[in-house]
Amino acid sequence: METKILTGSPYPLGATYDGKGVNFSIYAENAEGIDLCLFNSTNDPTESVKIRIKERTHQVWHAYVPDLHPGQLYGYRVHGPYEPQNGHRFNPHKLLIDPYAKAIAGTLQWDDSLFGYEVGHEDQDLSFSTIDSAPHIPKCVVVDESFDWEGDKALKIPLHKSIIYETHVKGFTQLHPGIPEDIRGTYLAMAHPVTIDYLKNLGVTAVEFMPLHHFITDRHLKDQDLTNYWGYNTVGFFAPDVRYAAKGMQGEQVREFKEMVKALHQAGIEVILDVVYNHTGEGNQMGPTLSFRGIDNAGYYRLTEDARFYMDYTGTGNTLNAMMPSVLRLIMDSLRYWIQEMHVDGFRFDLASTLARELHEVNKLSSFFDVIHQDPIISQVKLIAEPWDIGEGGYQVGKFPPGWAEWNGKYRDCMRDYWIGAESMLGEFAERFMGSSDLYQDDYRKPTASINFITAHDGFTLHDLVSYNEKHNDANGENNQDGESHNRSWNCGAEGPTDDQNIIDLRRKQMRNMLTTMLLSQGVPMIVAGDEFARTQQGNNNAYCQDNEISWLDWENMDEGLQNFTKQLIEFRKSHPSFCRRKWFQGMPIKGIGLEDIAWFLPDGSEMSDEHWQNDFARSLAVFLNGNGIRSLNDEGEKIIDDHFYILFNAHFETIHYKIPAASYGSSWTKVINTEFETIEEHDTFQPEEEIAVQGRSIIVLKASNTH
């Protein structure tokens, strides 16, 4: 085939179709030559056309090929020194994935040819492999980015009004009886009316998807007939993963992803992506050569002083070097692409502390944050950090810059401790309930900086948190050695499934207690898919490799009572601005009223003093929320007024009688929530200074009309 090659442009990076042909552009600072390889089909053992790219602008290689169209398959071979000891691992025998590929056709088929060295050689990765990897590596796809969004725009739901629902595209839909079998487990299944109606009726405002960037399954998992179900092993930061495509893999996955986003937006639900920019799926020096390693190893990764090896702050073998301008550009270009072209509303950054590392220390003023802060597009979406990594000093909860929200691991730990009866200070419980001002207020951040969660994909489900004292990860093939051992869980008297009705009732009440605590806390609540109806993973707290019934939502056996309670609870939160404030409590009297915006009480009705907060054995307290104390205006510029609330927490195992405070706090109180029961409705009225019995391990919420 005679192909005319034009100069092309260094920008934009990747493969760009303009209606007449395709511009190819790839960054590789240390490369000595690059071949563009074109394929006719995914089954081709090698390329049909090889084009040596001759144009180079700075460190970017580029060429324009006329008469190519969307659906064209391609990859790269990159020439240069193979000197692992100097950080260079070029090997033109390895076909490489374009870091900017918008779609990737197929998944990796493990084979020794994928490694840049000879597998089993005595010199290990210092040896050199001459086997062609093309038959086993998925090909990149030229895509047509045109799509009818039908006027779709960003929803821009304020964080203080947000309720996040963490889920997995396949896990949520794979077993749903209302979704056609041929699309279950796909983007189109998430866009199906059955899915949309469920999410809308539940009341969540945003779906946070576990990784959807194209990822690979580790070889050791494949050898055990397991898979990387969670997807934290990215090789394509622009490509929606092909596994979740229903109708094809040569660009169809891009269109289906957009259909999903459009459908969710039409229902008023935002889309947040869990993104993994801290490392790639290529692993350590013994890993495969799939993309970045073969394109410019020293330009993409953080290497040790001995450049043969990789810095590993992630536990996955490598760390992307976010200090390098080319890597920063890759991350920013990727984020902008997902916002502008794919219409996503925000991101949750996996192991975000890794991205903040300058040299070895975590520095919140690193170039990564500087670049995001000044970007007019990325800075305007929801930015959520998982504020830790496994490196020294990596636990950075409360230390991210303004504009960022964080998964609040301290909230999770505190609330678990409180409800299982572990020793913990009441002062910390109150601090977490009020939005964790000790973590965020000094940096001019708001309560919405705290993403409050009791469970996440990593760890026990809510059902398992109250059903197991120990993890049960035997199915993972690691002799139950993997996963967190300190879960702050309590099985309520029996390990795992039981027929004891008293234990079953207690477990269900504990789940209601934790959901109620979280949804009434200041900050942004995050629910894990299935927790609202008591989904179990049979005690597996690290189901990252379980693409099966362990991880998939079991719609046939859902706890409808708990699901309905959660739905009512979400609606209750949405209806009352007292529980989703934009600003901090002041603890000071409100002008003209004399009452504080918040006050804490002992069961005897007296206000708590400093020494009461230091008790590590006390389990019982109450809080008054002043409906006049919301120091914010609504969208019309009017002062926000709400009812008054009095919330009674009893994590003690016995019934405790609480005295309602004086008439100045409320002239009459109505019970609206009692976690002893599954329904949220107004019943029973109480007068000032009257006593009310709060059963062991339960919450009661009282409401008083605001007459001021």
Catalytic residue list: 350, 386
Distances (CA, A) of 176 to 198, 348, 550: 11, 26, 15
In this structure, are residues 124 and 308 in contact, taking their beta carbons and an 8 Å threshold? Answer: no
Tokens found for residue 12: 């934009």
Give the integer Cα–Cα distance in Å for 257 and 211. Answer: 13
Peptide bond into 12 cis (omega under 30): yes
Q: What are phi and psi of 234, to 5 degrees?
A: -70, 140
Give the integer Cα–Cα distance in Å for 670 and 665. Answer: 13
Residue linked to tokens 């919330």: 647
In this structure, are residues 405 and 449 in contact, taking their beta carbons and an 8 Å threshold? Answer: yes
Distances (CA, A) of 10 to 63, 95, 102, 360, 562: 8, 21, 17, 33, 56
* HSE toward the beta carbon, residue 369, CA cutoff 13 A: 20
Give the integer Cα–Cα distance in Å for 468 and 461. Answer: 10
| Tally of CB atoms within 10 A around 591 | 7
Give the integer Cα–Cα distance in Å for 442 and 445. Answer: 7
Do strands 698-704 and 669-674 pair parallel, antiparallel, or not at all (unpaired)?
A: antiparallel
Strands of 590-643 (E only): list them.
598-601, 620-625
Radius of gyration of the chain (CA): 27
In this structure, are residues 688 and 666 in contact, taking their beta carbons and an 8 Å threshold? Answer: yes
Instruction: Give the three-class secondary structure for 245.
Output: coil
Instruction: Give the three-class secondary structure for 137.
Output: coil
Give the integer Cα–Cα distance in Å for 361 and 394. Answer: 8
Tokens found for residue 605: 């009705």
| Closest to 581 measured CA to CA, from 511, 618, 532, 628 | 628
Give the integer Cα–Cα distance in Å for 603 and 626. Answer: 19
Instruction: Give the three-class secondary structure for 557.
Output: helix
